[in-house]
Structure 1
């Protein structure tokens, strides 16, 4: 529930950098892609 609340509070910053960049991951450096994946994994786990 907390995640949903946070998402509503920051829809643009939270969605913009992570989700739309998913297809662009290969373009980004592997480290960044890995970091984003890890971050998303942690968020989904929570």
Structure 2
């Protein structure tokens, strides 16, 4: 999984394995961009 934090869109109909959507977007999950990205997610509620 190339994203630190993802979610599953429950509004889409599933025909197999659900697609993991990066949160909040792909840009925020870019490796090496510590100033503008999510490095680690811990205890998400």
TM-score of the two chains, using structure 1 as the length reference:
0.24
Q: Which has the higher strand share?
A: 2
Q: TM-score, normalised by structure 2?
A: 0.24
Higher normalized helix content (fraction of residues): 1
